[in-house]
Amino acid sequence: MKKIFILMVVLIMAACGRKEDGRITLNLKGELPATGEVRVEVYGYDKMLADHRATLIVIHREELNQDREVIVELPENAQELIDPPVRDKDGASYYANIRITDEDTTYTQDYDKNPFIEVEKGSVIDIQMKKE
């Protein structure tokens, strides 16, 4: 019993001392061009406010890479950038909107399969993409 208690205390202390990873990893799947620009918009909102618009937190742009993985870094104070600011980190929610453009075609997330891509710091998400 004493060993279990010590183990629980160590796990709790380790969890409290761990710095939250601000990265969101998006794995793009489906019908994609060989090259193109990826644009990811991350919006934040207060979970406790009903019928309030979300605030654009980050616009991330990069060239589509071979492994089709996009890493977006959320600011450490992301919840404070929401209008009005969210005091508690757990009171904020985030979602992403993804678009890829090549020379003459636009690809978006497949809204039939991923209508609302809710993300959180440290998450890894597979996103189904399709031609617009």
CATH match for 21-131 among 3.30.1490.20, 3.40.50.300, 3.40.50.620, 2.60.40.2990: 2.60.40.2990
Rounded-to-integer distance, Cα 53 and Cα 80, Å: 15
Per-residue pLDDT of the chain (132 residues; tens, 9 = 90+): 555 544 454 445 444 433 457 899 999 998 888 889 999 999 999 999 888 899 999 999 999 988 899 999 999 999 999 999 998 888 899 999 999 999 889 999 888 877 778 888 889 999 889 888
What is the 3-state secondary structure of 114-127? CCCEEECCCCEEEE
Domain layout of the chain by residue ranges: 21-131
Are 46 and 89 in contact by the 8 Å Cβ rule? The answer is no
pTM for the full predicted model: 0.79
How many helices and strands, by DSSP H and E, does the chain display?
A: 2, 8
Centroid of chain to Cα 71: 9
